[in-house]
Structure 1
Amino acid sequence: MDNKKLKGIVDIFNDSGLTFMEINEKEGENAFSIKLEKKGEILPVPASAHAAPQFSATEPAASDTEREIKDFNKYRDVKSPMVGIFYTSPSPDSEPFIKVGDKVKKGDTLCIIEAMKLMNDVVAEEDGELVEICAENGSLVEFGQVLFKIF
């Protein structure tokens, strides 16, 4: 087995999250065998397999909850444009502008930042869904600090 092939197998193993791998190679021949283990289950890979493991069609389809998992690389951070006090609502007794799970449109007010007795609206630059509020209401925020994560 050449180094490229071995490196490919190790890379696949590392990317898959498996916990056990066994490789047997016969000397003088190109034949070898590999065993990968996941959750106590041994999955033999035939010696003729040179690519990533193929999964059978009998595997259960992804559940609805697995489909709803969002890719963290697609989140957009809304950062503070200034130093000031972060407020999620226009007054202490009113509802917040947005809550986690709300859909936002470009131009919607997300929060207010008070700086030098002036109230400054922070608006959404893109459409999306609010997935996290990263600052605490009434707290001091710094320039460039992440206030929200929008998907």
Structure 2
Amino acid sequence: MLKVQEIRELIKLIDDSSIDEFTYESNGTTISMKKQKEQVVERIQTQTKEEVQAKPPQQVAPAPAETVEVSNSVQDEVNAKADVDYDFEIVSPMVGTFYEASSPEEDPFVKVGDAVQADTVVCIVEAMKLFNEIEAEQSGEIVEVLVENGQLVEYGQPLFLVKAK
């Protein structure tokens, strides 16, 4: 089965292309995507191992055991950010775990409304047991925190929205 990140990449590729419909089948899983009004609709069909073994091979693909339908567009994330007035994003420089404070007992490094300087530590991203302090890199005011404490983050994923002062 495809990983969530691989599905996100497929959604983005389909969203950015002129393709209107896409289907992918592998190991009893079918992913179908179809654009509808600037959205990508994703349908994932899976079968249990028992069903795959109980049916002849030619009958496996058409009979899904479970269907999960997600109607989400890559544009949804962009539209959510468009509602907030900001000038730049602080993004994760690596894959890891986001921490808003240096320890669970401490207050967060920053919260919405806080002023930051270029060298202000805004969070920690832990990767391979190394705790990396992330700095704002620009001066401004935090207008939105986009991730939750303890959440896994990807390289380049926006963490904070900042309004320049």
Q: Which position in structure 1 is the counterpart of 2:95?
A: 83
Q: Runs of 5+ in structure 1 lacking a partner?
A: 1-69
CA distance in 1, matches of 2:149, 2:93: 16
Quote the offset at 1:71 in angstroms: 7.9
Q: Which position in structure 1 is the counterpart of 2:129?
A: 117
CA distance in 2, matches of 1:126, 1:117: 27
CA distance in 1, matches of 2:88, 2:154: 18
2:110 aligned to 98, 106, 114, which one?
Answer: 98
Deviations 1:44-95 (A, max 9, x none): xxxxxxxxxxxxxxxxxxxxxxxxxx983x5201110000000000000111
Q: Which position in structure 1 is the counterpart of 2:141?
A: 129
- Partner letter of residue 92 of structure 1? P
Larger strand share, 1 or 2: 2
TM-score normalised by the chain length of structure 2: 0.47
Quote the offset at 1:100 in angstroms: 0.3
- Partner letter of residue 124 of structure 1? A
- Partner letter of residue 142 of structure 1? E
Quote the offset at 1:131 in angstroms: 0.3
Q: Which position in structure 2 is the counterpart of 1:11?
A: none
Identical positions, percent: 49
Runs of 4+ in 1 over 6 A off after TM superposition: none
TM-score normalised by the chain length of structure 1: 0.51
CA distance in 1, matches of 2:133, 2:84: 29
CA distance in 2, matches of 1:136, 1:71: 18
Q: Runs of 5+ in structure 2 lacking a partner?
A: 1-82
